[in-house]
Structure 1
Amino acid sequence: MTTEEKIARRKLSLLDLAQELRNVSKACKVMGYSRQQFYEIRRNYQTYGSSGLLDKLPGCKGAHPNRVSPEIEQAILDYSLQRPTHGPLRVSQELALRGITVSSGGVRGVWSRHDLLSKHDRLLRLEREQKDRALELSDEQIRLLERFSPEFRERQIEVHHTGELVAIDTFFVGTLKGVGKVYLQTVIDCFSRFAFGRLYTSKMPVTAVHVLNNDVLPFFEQHAVRVETVLSDNGREYCGRPDNHPFELFLQLEGIEHRTTRVRRPQSNGFVERLHRTLLDEHFRVAGRTTWYESVEQMQEDFDKYLHHYNYERPHQGRMMNGRTPSQAFIEGIVEQPEPATEDAA
């Protein structure tokens, strides 16, 4: 029940009480009305019935005679949608240049009827009008969205089973005195986060082939799992002419699809990039300060020990890992491989 209906019901109770007591003064005293109010209520009730008991505010009989025309009102609303931050005087002056005469007070009256008195309300109206509008984004706008929008930053590579996608990347570890620059060829199964790594003094294509041929593929074959796709950046050690590039030729011979990331977008290979940070924080930055390395073989020996800890003992907190070790996720992610088709003997 609304407030107006409650007041009308109280007025009707006043009339009933006066008739029951046969005394207007006593009924008005009980209900809290004056005698003048009683006679006005009774006159309205006798003239208009129950609707006469409702309070009628000034101006309810129709539109104010000085209200702007519907055409001018629509022009004000359209202009406020285009320029929501302009005040009433500015709107009045701008519309006057278009041949529409309206005062700043008239503009405020239109805004008041449409709940647009504040600049914030007019900006919200603009947002509501634009939210369902389809926009064509330029390449620059897409780049800025991907850089600053959490919705774009938090996109993930979808991998469903072990061996579906294996990421590889070259990582500069540092310079070893007497040896030179040391590079790490890192390989990670994107589903289980099971990692492989081997240190080299160069980043030639043969190093990428070596780590796949000697470490990665034998391990997958041992578990009867096929590597379907290898994801890499566009570095020279991974990309080249398919007919004479060692890495490209090796993948073709093994029947593995080669997929590359977008240029200058390391986020496209986020699994291996995040692994590099883990290797730095948990191994290289610690081992480099506690051990005096004299050869790459000595570094590789300590690194293999850490990889065993990473793969078999360290709980992983990555997406969809739920605290499992990479070796557990590797085994649980193995799906039954389809058997190769064989020709029936004649």
Structure 2
Amino acid sequence: MDGTAKATKPKARDAKTKIAQTRMSVLELAKELGNVAEACRQRGMDRTSFYEWKRRFQTHGFEGLKDLPPIHKTHPQTTSPETVERIKALALEHPAYGCNRFEAMLALEGMRVYRALDLPVKAVLTDNGREFCGTEKHPYELYLELNAIEHRRTKVRTPKTNGFAERFNGTVLEEFFRVKMRETFYETVEALQADLDAWLFHYNTERPHMGYRNMGRRPIETVMSFVSQEG
């Protein structure tokens, strides 16, 4: 041993990441040129593929530029087959009723159905971490710009300006991670994610929240109240 430090060889990127970064470069070039056709010509991509990758990037972020795994069939928010059959029966029995009335009738029977609300995201608030901020080519910044979403940032070293997120971080640590990490030895990230998804469903649709926004209601009830007022 001569004590001479040896340079560490950079870790090679996997093939999927390399391909995704190539696709990202076409999106960035189109934005820079303001011309999709020219960007596709320069990078050898047809426009049909360009718009498909743009759609996937807008939907899934950088991971969407890779080959995405299929959505798990037992996602916590999947409507149960029993509820589906009950909805069909109600629709045949009451053909003039709409989805709001069916939802109310199912709630009286102890069944809950949550529909996609299609609420537009106009702005997001993040801290100033590098995972969120950077140059105009930063994937997160690019994603927001492509979707016309305003990016608001918290004041540096002032966590209270992002109080809701800070409170959630404490809640998920106390009620989920500290409990699950004592109960379960997770062998895969996917297994942990599945349990977290189930807890988030409980957090948003079943657990009463005592803060001034919800005042004992579940978040889904607060959202539905807002939607009814907007409608």
After TM superposition, the score normalised by the length of structure 2 is 0.49
After TM superposition, the score normalised by the length of structure 1 is 0.33
Bigger radius of gyration, 1 or 2? Answer: 1
Q: Which structure dedicates a bigger proportion of its chain to helix?
A: 2
